[in-house]
Chain A
Amino acid sequence: MAEITLQDIIKEENLVYKKSKVMTDNTLSYCPGCGHGTAHRLIAEVIEELGIQSETIGVSPVGCSVLMYNFLDIDMQQAAHGRAPAVATAIKRIMPEKYVFTYQGDGDLAAIGTAETIHACNRGENITIIFINNGIYGMTGGQMAPTTLEGMPASTCPFGRDIELMGNPLKMTELVANLAGVYSVSRHSVHTPRNVRKAKKAILQAFESQKLKRGVSFIEIVSNCNSGWKLTPRKANEWMEENMFPFYPLGDIKVDGQLVTK
């Protein structure tokens, strides 16, 4: 048997994975190791697989992912801080045949946009909401967000979040799961291959249920913010597993309009 060289393997016909064509060639503006890039790529892959590149309209938030329209080659609208579900509602009502999704961080969706999120979910707007939760305001310098864990340091609470002084962290995903207009709710992460595959499946199902006009699909992705957490990318992922997942457990919360009982 002749020895096979790398040149023999690296050929177009042997390709098993490359970046989705729905992603543009622009370099992502995120820090090394940030989960935003993986989440963007999953959305791009789902859009490519479903063949809905020209029928999808995304709504980007205020936060690190504000420039999302530079990275995805689809129609996008940038909403005012927290108002992405309201903008998505309008887009979906004017163009009901389009696939509409919002992509929001925790400072956007769980703080300033709480009212819009809850009412859009309660009305059962036929949209997909993708919620990236990293526990702090990453873009502005790591300030405490509603989702900051108890005892978790942030730049505005350097000694950790004190529940008596600063209140409790908000589980937005469990909150919206109780609303009647919401069809499916699940929580994922994108730090290991297994979790990435699960998250992609959830996004795929969300877009499919949008086609069937079933109501809001809400997907939370627990992500890291290694710059804000002052950790290396790999350490940040380990920290997330140890600290974020006990409070924000991964898995399905609402499936087919029914709450999952554990």
Chain B
Amino acid sequence: MAKIRGAVVVDVEGCKGCGVCIPACPSEVLDLAKEVNGKGYNYSFMKNPEACVGCANCAIVCPDGVISVYKVKVA
């Protein structure tokens, strides 16, 4: 069965660390980083990249539109 692998790219400097993307993710991929970006926000990152299915739920709830989502079918 074809498996779907996804990946999330967060624009680190644009992220405001609100964390709205974290409960939106069905496979618990995202979390807030311990490090901060240039504005002092704990930005969102892929804690568990293996689990991402590229559903784009995180991106469509992101108020600042800083998330891009990629998806590929693995044979």
Contact = CB atoms under 8 A, between A and B. Distances in A.
Contacts of A14: 70-72
Nearest to B26: A193
Given A6-B49, A9-B7, A17-B56, A28 B69 contact: no
A38 B62 contact: yes
B72 A8 contact: yes
Contacts of A27: 14, 64
A156 B5 CA distance: 50
Interface in B40-66: 41, 49, 54, 56-57, 59-66
Given A15-B70, A16-B70, A10 B9 contact: yes
Best-buried of B63, B67, B71 by chain A (most CB within 10 Å) = B63
B contact residues, range: 20 to 34
A234 B64 contact: no
A16 B54 contact: yes
Interface in A221-242: 226, 232-234, 237
Contacts of A11: 70, 72
A261 interface: no
A166 B48 CA distance: 50
Interface in B8-59: 9, 14, 16-20, 22-24, 41, 49, 54, 56-57, 59
A17 B68 contact: yes
A192 interface: yes
B59 A17 contact: yes
B57 to A, nearest CB: 4
A58 B74 CA distance: 43
A193 B61 contact: yes
A35 B63 contact: yes
Interface residues of A, number: 38
A31 to B, nearest CB: 8
Interface centre among A6, A23, A31 (most CB of B within 10 A): A6
B63 A4 contact: no
A191 interface: yes
A30 interface: yes
Interface of B: 5-7, 9, 14, 16-20, 22-24, 41, 49, 54, 56-57, 59-72, 74-75
Interface of A: 1, 4, 6, 8-11, 14-20, 23, 27-28, 30-38, 41, 190-193, 196-197, 226, 232-234, 237
